[in-house]
Structure 1
Amino acid sequence: MTAPRTGSAAASARPLPARDGASSEPASVYVRSLIRSQLRLGVTYALGFVGATTVFVLAIVLTPVLDETFVWGVPLSWLLLAVGVYPLAITVGVLYARAAARNEARYRALTEAP
């Protein structure tokens, strides 16, 4: 979960969770569900990143022509590794952040429902 921005209207309009015993049980169930969902999401994206990186590296290793091709005196395979993994990492990070925000929005919708 992310911390609310203190100056935003949504942060000030959001009701605080009740502290009595009657409503704490559903709230704790929702929080545990959110934690499990975020953990599952994180593991899924981490495994996807590792898998995609492995495929990327194997494609470079199994293509010997890349080692024989030089760009600015550096083997093309090195350049692909140095430059190619960063867009993959950024893409996975952005997709994860969007999915995590969706999970949190669903959690807020459940907890703020009348």
Structure 2
Amino acid sequence: MSGGAGADAGAGAGPGTGGADASGADAGRQRAPASTRVRITAPRQRPAPVPYGPASASIGPDSSDVQGIFVRSLIRSQLRLALVFAIGFVVATALFVTGIVLVPDLGHSYLAGVPISWLLLGFGVYPLVITVGWLYVRLANRNEARYRALSEDA
């Protein structure tokens, strides 16, 4: 902005001074009264009430225990799968790093001015991460498909 009178209007003026400039450049002109500040927010909505009955009318009183057993079984199998893959990933990464450390020639060989050991550590772990992630998702989906098949039969 330029340093004109419009740019400096109200500069240094405190509340109740009417916005008059201290230098007197706006002395002949009065400023419009300040409008009140309005805050615009999203409308307040209450969440939909949660029904406290059985999820479906076709589920009998005996099947709720069976459904609970199926859900606990699914949770246990997913936890077991996650722990196995987490431990397996840590072990595989440690073996990868140990393999790089045990081959000392990788630290002395360069590719584009960067040691090959650095390149392997920087880019060699990504295929491992992608493979472990892909396998985990595939097996987790298989567990859920088994759960769905069991819960539909019950």
The 5 Å alignment of 1:30-109 reads 30-109=70-149
Between Structure 1 and Structure 2, the one with more helix by share is: 1
2: CA distance, partners of 1:88 / 1:96: 12
Higher RCO (CA 8 Å, separation ≥ 6 residues): 1
2: CA distance, partners of 1:73 / 1:103: 47
Structure 1: tracts of 5 or more residues without a match: 1-14
2: CA distance, partners of 1:86 / 1:16: 45
Of the two, which has the highest radius of gyration?
2
1: CA distance, partners of 2:72 / 2:114: 50
1: CA distance, partners of 2:124 / 2:66: 45
Superposition deviation, residue 102 in structure 1: 0.4
Q: Is the 1:45–1:96 Cα contact (8 Å) retained in structure 2?
A: yes
Aligned length: 100
Of all paired residues, the percent bearing the same amino acid is 57
TM-align CA RMSD: 1.9
1: CA distance, partners of 2:151 / 2:94: 40
Superimposed CA distance per residue, residues 77-111 of structure 1 (whole angstroms, 9 cap, x where no aligned partner):
00001111010000000000000000000000000
When the two structures are superposed, what TM-score results if normalisation uses the length of structure 2? Answer: 0.61
